[in-house]
Chain A
Amino acid sequence: MFCRLQPNVDTRQKQLAAWCSLVLSYCRQRKLYTLDVLEAQESPVFNNKKIERKLSVEAIQVVFEELRKKGNLEWLDKNKSRCLIMWRRPEEWGKLIYQWVSKNGMVNSVFTLYELSNGDDTENEEFHGLEDWMLLRSLQALQTDGKAEIISMDDGKGVKFF
């Protein structure tokens, strides 16, 4: 991996694609859902300590921008310093959650969001530890399909599966 952006357009495209998939795999491995650009720069993805080279913040932003175009990333602020990263799309998460629900015969029951992402029952599921915003989006995706309905209460949200 070259630690600077390539000037040639073709090479640059390939390089960007490689960076993108690297970032996504890294986040998937670490189960990261939000990234800080400055923190990312220090992470092993963009910082090769062996050869003491790291990608500049601008270059990281270019890579992230590419990810945003693909729909895997969303900026949290205008300065583009923090972002949400979606190495799995909300629909896919929704599908996983729904599979778990129907496998356990819990269709037609009510859940709290905390129960889904932090409960003892979901300990071995991939969506365990999912951040709230991501969980909410996946449930919204399910809601659009008519497989779930989000219930808002005074303190916190819940969901019912169908």
Chain B
Amino acid sequence: MGNLFGKKKATRVTEHDRAVLQLKQQRDKLKQYQKRITLQVEKERQLAKQLLKDGKKEKALLLLKKKRYQDQLLDKTENQISNLERMVQDIEFAQVEMKVIEGLKVGNDCLKKMHEMLSIEEVERIMDETHDAIEYQKQIDDMLVGSLTQEDEDAVLAELEAITQGDADLELPEVPEEELPEVPEQEPVREKERAKKKPEREMVAV
């Protein structure tokens, strides 16, 4: 490419796109043609009507013949347009298929590479090493556990107990200071008071 197009190095338009564009341009032209013919046909129909009214049957007949011919043209154009459109769709679909294949290929390559990295011997070796490491860890654990005497263990348990005990102490609900609810001979005023206090007590207990 010349200097003129220097900027457009990475054009993303492929040959297929150009082909599609060409087809579409052709279709546009046919559509314009179709529009023109349709208008003409309509005009001629009106004219034929007018001629019939005026009693010029011969001329009207001639005009209708011409119109008939144009109708056929219109049909043909319609067919061609649909042909072109089908072609465009085919190309577009083929492009999609190509993309799918490309995607599959990339995926396949990736999988292959990963498999190369993960040979069976490698996996076996890693598994063995992991196993060894676990064994080793177990030994260390045993040694560590062994270094604590029964006495130490008891002390630990006792401390745990103490901590839980302390928590339980804190959680004990307060003893209600009020008297027990009285017999329902009271005026409704006091009743309300009690109702107010009740939720408070409940909250403390929780």
Stretch from B22-30, B40-48, B194-202 forming part of the interface with A: B22-30
Instruction: Tell me the minimal C-beta distance from A121 to chain B in angstroms.
Output: 12
Residues of A close to B186: CB separation below 8 A: none
Size of the chain A interface, CB-CB below 8 angstroms? 14
Which of B18, B21, B22, B24 has most chain A Cβ within 10 Å? B21
A160-B22 contact given A109-B92, A115-B28, CB 8 Å threshold: no
Residues of A close to B13: CB separation below 8 A: 149, 151, 160
Instruction: Please encode chain B, from 1 to 38, with 1 for each CB lying within 8 Å of some chain A CB and 0 for all others.
Output: 00000000001110001101110110010001000000
Contact, CB under 8 Å: B21 / A112: yes
Contact, CB under 8 Å: A162 / B12: yes
- Interface set of B (CB-CB < 8 Å, partner A): 11-13, 17-18, 20-22, 24-25, 28, 32, 92
Distance A38 CA – B22 CA, assembled complex (angstroms): 41
- Residue from the list B12, B22, B24 in contact with A111, Cβ < 8 A: B24
Which label, helix, strand, loop or mixed, suits the secondary structure of the B interface?
helix
Q: Which 10 A-B pairs have the closest CB atoms?
A: A158-B21, A114-B28, A110-B20, A112-B24, A110-B21, A110-B17, A112-B28, A112-B25, A151-B13, A160-B17
Taking the complex as formed, is A58 at the interface, i.e. its CB lies under 8 A from any CB of chain B? no
Which of A110, A112, A162 has most chain B Cβ within 10 Å? A110
- Residue from the list B11, B25, B32, B92 in contact with A158, Cβ < 8 A: B25
**29 A-B pairs in the complex with CB atoms less than 8 angstroms apart:** A109-B92, A110-B17, A110-B20, A110-B21, A110-B24, A112-B21, A112-B24, A112-B28, A114-B25, A114-B28, A115-B24, A115-B28, A149-B11, A149-B12, A149-B13, A151-B13, A151-B17, A151-B18, A153-B18, A153-B21, A153-B22, A153-B25, A156-B25, A158-B21, A158-B24, A158-B25, A160-B12, A160-B17, A162-B12
Beyond A110-B17, A112-B25, A151-B18, list 10 extra A-B contacts (CB 8 Å). A109-B20, A110-B24, A111-B24, A112-B28, A114-B25, A114-B28, A149-B13, A156-B25, A158-B25, A160-B17
Residues of A close to B24: CB separation below 8 A: 110-112, 115, 158
Distance A156 CA – B24 CA, assembled complex (angstroms): 11
Residues of B close to A153: CB separation below 8 A: 18, 21-22, 25
Instruction: Tell me the minimal C-beta distance from A55 to chain B in angstroms.
Output: 39
Residues of A close to B22: CB separation below 8 A: 153
Taking the complex as formed, is A145 at the interface, i.e. its CB lies under 8 A from any CB of chain B? no
Distance A48 CA – B20 CA, assembled complex (angstroms): 51
Distance A162 CA – B24 CA, assembled complex (angstroms): 18
Instruction: Tell me the minimal C-beta distance from A115 to chain B in angstroms.
Output: 6
Taking the complex as formed, is A155 at the interface, i.e. its CB lies under 8 A from any CB of chain B? yes
Instruction: Tell me the minimal C-beta distance from A39 to chain B in angstroms.
Output: 26
Instruction: Tell me the minimal C-beta distance from B85 to chain A in angstroms.
Output: 11
